[in-house]
Chain A
Amino acid sequence: MSTIDFLDLQKQIASSRARGLWTLMIGYRAIYVGSMVALALSGIAKTLSFLLLATFVDEALLTEDVVRAVALIALSFIGLALVEGAFSFLSGRLAAQTAEGVTQRLRNFMFDHLQRLSFPYHDKAQTGDLIQRVTSDISAIQRFYSEQVVQLGRVLLLFVINFVALLSLNTTLALSSTIIVPFIAIVSLFFFRRIEKAYDDYQAADAKLSTVLQENLSGVRVVKAFARQPYEEKKFDHENSSRFAKGRRLLSLHSLYWPVSDILASGQMLAGLMLGATMVMRGDITLGTFLAYAGMIIWIVQPMRGLGRLIVQASTGLVSFDRIAGVVREEQEPLKEGTQRPQTVQGDLVFENVSFEYETDVPVLHDISFSVKPGEIVALLGSTGSGKTTLVSLLPRFYEYTSGRILLDGVPLTDYPKEVLRDFIGIVEQEPFLFSRTIRDNIAYGVDRQVTDEEVIAAAQAAAIHERILQFPQGYDTIVGEKGVTLSGGQKQRVAIARTILKNPRILLLDDATSSVDTETEAEIRGALENLMSARTTFVIAHRIQSVMIADQILVMDKGRIVQRGSHDELVNQPGTYRQIYDLQARIESELEKEIASV
């Protein structure tokens, strides 16, 4: 993974926010500190230019060779501006490098982390919530580094630099001109707590309005069928008005805060100017000192007005960090643990007293024992919730069995690293998931090497989908999914089969692959599946007799137990669930015939 900028946060993430945010900056800390130093240097250059103004008035204008002295001052002004600009740019660039670099690494980590979290985690997680965290919350962290910290740093640095410079000019002037600063900071924080609250209310009203709108649009038939347009208009108007009211409150707070803080800031500046003016007139300070003072005081007082906003915004960045850290702390499933790394396996499987529970004391599988020879077909028959899917999910170790053991070629499954094990296993799900990329890429998705077109076509032919693919205008380059062509259930199913054929696994898991398609497609898929099953150890999940008749071994399952086992011929000739199902299907046929005959 040398080419990818990657940081394993799992090992690094700390419990406290401050330390966590510091951890995220590993590798960028020096750069970020450099950005702050540059920010300070840029501020110092600016302050120096005010001091230069003092020299200009107090000394340059009074020298013999005025032109030369003034020209020197003018050049120095430009020079200082150049220094100020250069450091300001450097600071911005370094901060951006840190913010973008840290979040790029965080995005990469989160992406990888999500695909390495366990099945039980994903079973419970909400997609929308996770997306929210990896998009908006990461953006909030990005702004935290690139804007909020930098701006807070700027306010504080400007304050310190200018204050120190003022002290060097005149202590009384410096101390008296900062009296108001804590007040402005407090008022600012006071207002922005409320503004933030008002903003949340406004957002909530906005969300409610969107809900009403969305429900109206998606329920347009209902609205029309009941001719409820006037009612809907009233409902919408109600939420629209409420949003307006919340917006007005938010705006009122803003329109109060800014003039109030204006008066505070300008009042302080006026007081300072008057004090300074009196001091010049009394001869305590020079005119130049006064001018420098007048320039610097602005940079002490004005930035303080935004302090409240900055603190409130930075706190939202911290909340976002917590939400990210919550996901980061989840355990990944280990893919590499295990000692057995064979090139290939035979596919000989033995289940010995295997039990499994998702949650403690809620058993899903009880005491399952059976064995399968390489190349055999095992069918699992049973109703929904009988544990068929769970049982096959234990083979790729999507879930870890809680007691007993499973042997693959005589070796416990847990001795194979998951990444090795999963390479030997192919799965065709009931509703296969395809990715929004080309059909070719989807077929080649499961193979970790360059795949030739011939191989892809061969797999598609074996899956009985090649002809259909050629009918698309873009053929194998057709993009499927949301942004492309929508495939029918049967077509998706066959692309998934082609994907599995190309992967060429030793063990095959077919989860009710023909249940959701019509009769005609079913026949085609069945042919494709037979191609796939040859010479592989295969597990077939089904709930119709027709799908399990060819199996070497049929396991009838109920409530997490195997209630019957044997071949079709054996099972049909003994009393039990299998016979009942078989009889029932016969009974259905005869009832149907009777009914048709009766009309």
Chain B
Amino acid sequence: MSDGYHGFEEEEFAASMDRRTIRRIVSLVRPYWKWVLGFVAAVGIVSFIDAFLTYLSQQLIDRAIIPRDEVVLGEVAVQYIIAMLVQAAFVFAFIYLCGILGQRVQYDLRKKMFDHLQGLSLSYYSKTPVGWIMSRLTSDTERIADLVTWGMLDITWGVTNIIVSLTFMMLINWQLGLVILVLVPVLVRIAIWFEKRILSEYRKSRKANSRITGAYNENITGVRVTKALRREKRNLEEFSELTGDYYQAAFRAAWLSALFLPAVQLLMAFGIGAVVLFGGIQVNQGTMTIGGIQAFIGYITFMLWPILELARVFASMQHGVASAERVFSLIDAKADVVDKPTVIDVGTIRGDIVFDNVQFHYGDESAVLKDFNLTVRAGETIALVGPTGAGKSTIVNLVTRFYEPTGGRILINGVDYTDMPMRMIQSRIGMVLQTPHLFSGNIRENIRYGRLEATDAEIEEASKLAGAHDFIVTLPKGYEEEVGEGGNLLSVGQKQLISLARAVLANPEVFIMDEATSSVDTLTEALIQRGMEQMMNGRTSFIIAHRLSTIRRADRILVIEKGGISEMGTHSELLRQRGHYYSLYTQQFRREAEEKFEAEAEAMMEEEAPSHA
């Protein structure tokens, strides 16, 4: 299991900023270029007005306060109010545009990925962990959206802030401006130095944190063993090493962050010191104003923030690009079972099903089926028995065309089934899985999944045929009862009855069932048997069978072993051979007999002593 998963480890950063990836990221927002233009312009204006307000306060000091000019004071006030209102409007605009565009991009990406996933073949799902796909649609889409919205915004804001501040400074006093200009690259270097270290400690702490979570998980699930083996003290010692590692990394990251801001501010203080010194002398000489010095101090603070943010923004951009690469890898995945360009929709799959020299292997693995030949007559019931991993499910997966043969052909009614549309075949097959899958929602909705336009009456009719009706009506809300996530509010037996009803409602031409190995109570078992009878009647059926009654009822039994049919025939024929089937059968016979006895004994005890119930 572990070996196959190496390809799915999370990479935090993109190996390189691949130009093609960037172009594809840009293409995600291309339909919304007006929005992008809107928020970029809005944040640029906001940044400009910030600088303008500082300029206004210089005007206030130099042209109103010092010369005691009340007219100018009034003018400044009016300009200030206008600037303030305009700025508020643009703040609203950029938060709104950026935020909603981010949501829009997430929506689009999710839709695109989900729809793409629906078309992918089962082989993709069997080699890709569900958790991996989930992360692509959730956290990765968020990161990409952040990259094209807030990331872009931060950059625009930072660049405008620095340029506008420097320009204003140059306009006020270019010599002092140059002094500040020299400081910028130094500041950038310091910011990057810090950010690198903080990030690396942060990553260490995250790793330690996931180990801590793992340890907690084992601590709770294995608590009974811990208690029995009296491991409490040593477990705690081991665990405290993990929390110690976490403390080291988290504390280092935290105090580095705490040092970062003062370090940058201190450097800025040198800039302010220079402004005070040289500016002060110039004021004395009359070449600079007090308002000018005040404005200079304001602009220096202005430049501080974008530089502080710079390294962080860059790191999150790298995250975003790495996310995009993973998302694109999902979108680029190709289905390996696809329809040919021209297919014939004959509208039915009734008829004989023939496996003609079928070969099959999963991916690069060794062959699961070799030279497999089988002719199934229309309406025949085939029971597949044999050990786990022998290839029973593979045969079923080939019939449903979840996979196609890697060699040989499968013919339906004499036609190679790859000449037919996949949807046509699959929509005419009814399937009940070993661990039936239900969707959140109520029972009625789950049964209706078999035929979306079915009426309530038809749903009840199907449930009755499947033997599910009786238990459904005993539930407090009947058909309206919620089944819970994945159906986990119901028992396995109940889930099977509902999925049988779902299959009955679909009225398929071919029926496939994978019987449960885990025991269900006798009553439910009997109901399931009845439901299966109903389905097998008059339909070509493939049953991966475990129960004796199912096996005995089948028209033909196939014992599958190591990728081929080792024995084939009716129940009595095979028993007489005294081969694999014989030993499988006797084993199952003993097991079922014991189960039956236990159930009977329990029922007897219940009758004898009802008071203990």
Contact = CB atoms under 8 A, between A and B. Distances in A.
A596 B594 CA distance: 18
B99 A251 contact: yes
B169 interface: no
B80 A270 contact: yes
A415 interface: no
A111 B114 contact: no
Interface string A402-443: 000000000000000001001101110100110110000000
B287 interface: no
A191 interface: no
A209 B107 CA distance: 11
Contacts of B499: 222
B251 interface: yes
Contacts of A216: 114, 117-118
B116 to A, nearest CB: 10
B455 to A, nearest CB: 17
B590 interface: yes
* A-B CB proximity, top 4 nearest: A92-B258, A85-B262, A81-B269, A251-B99
Contacts of A223: 118
A483 interface: yes
B452 interface: yes
A519 B96 contact: no
Interface string B198-224: 000000000001001111111111111
A256 B89 CA distance: 10
B470 interface: no
A263 interface: yes
Given A100-B254, A221-B433, A559-B605, 8 more contacts: A93-B255, A104-B243, A217-B117, A270-B80, A287-B65, A383-B601, A433-B222, A484-B2
Contacts of A67: 281
B506 interface: yes
Interface in B225-245: 225-237, 239-240, 243-244
Given A100-B254, A255-B95, A280 B294 contact: no
A15 interface: no
Contact of A82 (B85, B258, B269, B284): B269
Interface stretch (B132-140, B306-314, B378-386): B132-140
A584 interface: yes
B110 to A, nearest CB: 5
A284 to B, nearest CB: 12
A433 B225 contact: yes
Nearest to B60: A277
Contact of B125 (A220, A291, A448): A220
B400 A134 contact: no
A37 interface: no
A334 interface: no
A247 B499 CA distance: 36
Contact of A248 (B103, B137, B235, B439): B103
A259 B90 CA distance: 8
B111 A237 contact: yes
Interface string A90-105: 0111011101110010
Is chain B's interface secondary structure helix, strand, loop, or mixed overall? Answer: helix
Nearest to B499: A222
Given A96-B255, A435-B222, A75 B273 contact: yes
A280 B572 contact: no
B274 interface: yes
A474 B412 CA distance: 49
Nearest to A486: B1
A127 B232 contact: no
B262 A84 contact: yes
B261 A88 contact: yes
A125 B221 CA distance: 11
Contacts of B215: 111
Interface string A574-587: 00000011001100
Given A100-B254, A259-B92, A270 B77 contact: yes
Interface residues of B, number: 143
A5 B240 CA distance: 8
29 contacts: A70-B276, A78-B273, A81-B265, A89-B255, A96-B251, A97-B255, A100-B250, A122-B224, A135-B212, A135-B213, A218-B486, A220-B122, A225-B512, A232-B114, A232-B118, A233-B118, A255-B99, A259-B88, A259-B89, A260-B88, A262-B87, A262-B91, A270-B81, A274-B77, A287-B66, A435-B225, A585-B594, A596-B575, A596-B582
Interface string B431-448: 101000101100000000
Nearest to A282: B68
Contacts of B284: 61, 66, 70
Interface string B255-277: 10111011101101110111011
A120 B100 CA distance: 50
Interface in A542-580: 543-544, 558-559, 580
B442 to A, nearest CB: 14
B115 interface: yes
Contacts of A485: 1-2
B266 A82 contact: yes
B290 to A, nearest CB: 6
A262 B88 contact: yes
A89 B262 contact: yes
Nearest to A134: B216
A226 B251 contact: no
B243 A77 contact: no
A331 B213 CA distance: 23
Interface stretch (B355-363, B421-429, B537-545): B421-429
Contacts of B60: 273, 277
Given A74-B276, A222-B431, A433-B221, A422 B228 contact: yes
Contacts of B227: 115, 119, 396, 398, 422
Interface in A358-400: 383-384, 396, 398
A222 B258 contact: no
A323 interface: no
B134 A210 contact: yes
Contacts of B233: 1, 448
Contacts of B512: 225
B85 to A, nearest CB: 7
B130 interface: yes
Nearest to A118: B227
A233 B92 contact: no
Given A111-B239, A227-B427, A448-B230, A592 B220 contact: no
Given A56-B280, A85-B266, A433-B221, A225 B431 contact: yes
Interface string B61-94: 1001110101001000100110011011101110
B609 interface: yes
B57 interface: yes
B218 to A, nearest CB: 6
A218 B266 contact: no
A67 B263 CA distance: 28
B44 interface: no
B234 A448 contact: yes
Contacts of A278: 73
B586 interface: yes
B449 interface: yes
A274 B73 contact: yes
A11 interface: no
Between A222, A433, A581, the greatest number of chain B beta carbons within 10 A of the residue's beta carbon is seen for: A222
A81 B266 contact: yes
Contacts of A531: none
A320 to B, nearest CB: 16
Contacts of A248: 99-100, 103
B219 A74 contact: no
A130 interface: yes
B80 A383 contact: no
Given A130-B220, A248-B100, A287-B290, A84 B265 contact: yes
Contact of A236 (B73, B111, B138): B111
A226 B236 contact: no
Given A70-B276, A222-B431, A4 B240 contact: yes
A371 B481 CA distance: 51
